[in-house]
Amino acid sequence: MRQRPRSAAKAIAQRRTDWRSIAWAGALGVFGAVILAGAVKAQDAPTITTHGFTTFGDLSELKYPADFQHLDYVNPDAPKGGTISIWAQGTFDNFNPYSREGRAGALANIGYESLLETTADTVSDAYCLLCATIEYPENQDWVIFHMRPEARFSDGTPLTAHDVVFSHNLLLEQGLPSYASAVGEVILTVEALDDYTVKFTFAPDAPRKGLILQAGAVPVFSQAWYESSGARLDKIQVETSPGSGPYVRDDFSYSSYITYRRNPDYWGADLPINQGRANFDTIRVVYYADSNVAFEAFKAGEYTFRQENSSIVWATGYDFPALNNGYVLKDEMANGSLPPAVGMVMNLRRPQFQDIRVRQAIALMYNFTWTNDTLQYGLFQQRDSFWQGTALEAKGTPEGQELEDLQGVADLIDPAILTDEVTMPHTSGANQLDRGNLRRALALMAEAGWESGPDGKLMKDGQPLRIEFLGYSPMFDRIITPFIENLNTLGIEANYNRIDPAQYTVRTRAMDYDMVYDGYDNGMEEGTGLSQRYGTYAVDDVFNPAGYASPAVDKLIEDAVDAENFDEMAAAVRAIDRIMRHEMFVIPTWYNPNFWVSYFDMFEHPDNMPPYALGQLDFWWYNADKADGLRAAGVIR
């Protein structure tokens, strides 16, 4: 049996795909406070009462005070109205995003809110949403959320502390096993003290950092709906629990579209944190079989906002009448968020990837320079680190606290990690196959016991090395195919198998692949969530596509979680970054420091855009006069 590190927990907010997290790309945090000198709720210790919380630093450093009127980056006078339409690929059969069964529709959890809410202009702040204040002792052994009595589900029923308790327990009983196991370790009890007061008590030996955020991130479902419907969170649901957010599902057609409408009776419309947000009357998601068909549909005005992720389309495709006539705008907008640690992932659950020399040889067959210059028009930058461009990125040789942390696991890692420069992506030449890298790869394979046969195929113990690269998007064909060709030149029997999105979902959930293009979503501040992505106990978790596990990283995760300040946490994460880059289980590819967007000229956004969000579904708005002009010109319907 694997031993689970005591730090194993993950805020469910890190994997939410609702409208706010799409807009913001996930921050952490909490708010300003007033220390009270008496016992509250029969607790003996003095408590802190606040409208927010922060992982590191003093609560007085929170950006927004308790009496703030609106977020700095929104237009509080933005008009309400209109429709924005986006696209999604493939199909869907489910509106329950918390189940591993089926394929959930886009924005399926758009209606669910949590006790705390993050912002797009800070890394470490979050503020009360379903609660009015939070209360906790200095040792953070527990937290009490004082909820807003006016909060309502979309069916008009009150949202109470009992719904919070029910939702927590439902996620433990029917949510992802890794989440249930981790949270069950650190949250001892959850109880409704009355209808609008809920208390989370934490396990005595659980590290305190991040636990209040963990408690505040639970999405809240309707207990009454679940009990009357008999539905289960781990099963496919077409009808789902009412949420409390500003949008509700309106209409849908399988494989065609989903429409969400703004709830005119949304309980939280007047809250300061919601001013200038949720401005569209309707959000429409249109489904297409592949990205090429979707782009043609955009040019024809079938949907109205496109976030581009294809370099060839961005470089060559935006030459069509609606854009040339000024009806469609094309823009690059700065993206200050941490780039996801994506690349070509090797499934370490498979025997062919157990030898690090084999992984290193496979990585040498990817040529970023040629790929970016020839296929991607030089538009991308190469990703080096799992925490690219942050204080959490390992650089040079280890020193200071990072070196001390690594010395604490010296018996569990390659000694070279303690003295050598951090692993960087290899350099490549201007041709698809870099001959120098091919020679290096052949030498590594020979060291690992693989010999070339008469036909040039690598053999070991009479068996060839076979790799299937699984994909679903035709957009990646031109990127993956040259890599597969290079692997075959090396002597590996490699093939690229592109299947439909539904099949891809089934196979990747079952970990049934050799390699995929995937990765990890990390944070600018780290804590308990590290375990679900990189911890040994969660080696088969859906958030760990490589199935990576390391006793050394387990120990360093505990160091990160136990850190008393940002510098200690950052040093531990740098040590993790250094080890994992050395292990070479993800071939780092590229990242884009900008959002590429194109949209019909009837949408507007604030001038002071926040650093960590595009926010098109959150704080952009609709200009009715411009929309009327586009209709008069016959550009949109």
Q: Is the dihedral of CA 383, 384, 388, 389 positive or negative?
A: negative
Residue, of 16 and 615, whose pLDDT is higher:
615
Confidence of residue 609 (pLDDT cuts 50, 70, 90): very high
The pLDDT value given to residue 20: 39
Per-residue pLDDT, 101: 87
Residue 319, pLDDT above cutoff 70: yes
* pLDDT higher than 60, residue 31: no
Mean pLDDT, residues 173-196: 89
- pLDDT of 231 > 90? The answer is yes
Model pLDDT, residue 527: 86
pLDDT of residue 25: 32
Mean pLDDT of the region 539-546: 91
pLDDT, residue 258, reads 98
**Least confident span in 5-19, 65-79, 99-113, 330-344:** 5-19
Average pLDDT rounded to a whole number, residues 395-403: 98
- β-strand partners of 468: 495
What pLDDT score does 275 carry?
Answer: 98
For the stretch 326-381, pLDDT in tens is 999 999 999 999 999 999 999 999 999 999 999 999 999 999 999 999 999 999 99
SS (H, E, C) 512-553: CCCEEEEEECCCCCCCCHHHHHHCHHHCCCCCCCCCCCCHHH
Q: The tokens of 266 are what?
A: 């949304």
Say what percent of the chain tops pLDDT 90: 83
Question: What is the arithmetic mean of pLDDT over 282-287?
Answer: 98
Q: Is the pLDDT of residue 63 over 80?
A: yes
Please state, as a whole number, how many other Cβ atoms lie within 10 Å of the Cβ of residue 604: 16
What confidence score (pLDDT) does residue 625 get?
Answer: 98
Evaluate if residue 22 carries a pLDDT over 60.
no
Q: Which two tokens stand for residue 237?
A: 């649901």
pLDDT bin (cut points 50, 70, 90) of residue 44 is low
The two beta strands, 515-520 and 341-346, are antiparallel
DSSP string of 104-171? BPTTTTTT---SEEE-SS-SS-EEESSEEEEEEETT-SEEEEEE-TT-B-TTSPBP-HHHHHHHHHHH
How many secondary structure helices (H) and strands (E) does the chain include? 19, 28
pLDDT value of position 36:
33
Domains, in order of start, for the chain:
8-336+593-637 (3.40.190.10), 341-591 (3.10.105.10)
pLDDT of residue 159 exceeding 80: yes
Among residues 351, 345, 587, 544, the alpha carbon closest in space to that of 466 is found at: 351
How far is Cα 341 from Cα 545, in angstroms, rounded to an integer?
12
Which pair of structure tokens corresponds to residue 433? 């196959």
Q: What is the pLDDT of residues 441-459, one digit of tens each?
A: 999 999 999 999 889 999 9
Residue whose pair of structure tokens reads 């489910």 in the numeric block: 94
**For residue 267, pLDDT beyond 50:** yes
Which pTM does this prediction carry? 0.88
**How high is the mean pLDDT of the chain?**
91
Phi, psi of 598 (to 5 degrees): -145, 140
**pLDDT over threshold 70, residue 592:** yes
Helix residue spans in 249-310 (DSSP H) = 291-299
Supply the pLDDT for residue 198.
98
**Local structure of residue 570 (DSSP, 8 states):** H
> Residue 134 has what pLDDT?
97
Task: Report pLDDT for 551.
Answer: 97
pLDDT at position 637 is 81
Determine which helix (DSSP H) or strand (DSSP E) holds 212, and give its type and residue range.
Answer: helix 211-216
Judged against a pLDDT cut of 50, whether residue 15 lies above it is answered with: no
**Plot region of 524 (φ>0 → left; ψ -120 to 50 → alpha; else → beta):** alpha
> Using CA atoms in the order 299, 305, 310, 314, what is the torsion angle rounded to 10 degrees?
60
Per-residue pLDDT tens over the stretch 100-151: 888 999 999 999 999 999 999 998 899 999 999 999 999 999 999 999 999 9
Most confident of 173-182, 331-340, 523-532: 331-340
Residue 37 has pLDDT above 70, yes or no: no
Rounded percentage of the chain residues whose pLDDT exceeds 70:
93
10 Cβ partners below 8 Å, 6+ apart? 178, 179, 182, 183, 214, 528, 529, 531, 532, 533, 543
CB 197 within 8 A of CB 147: yes
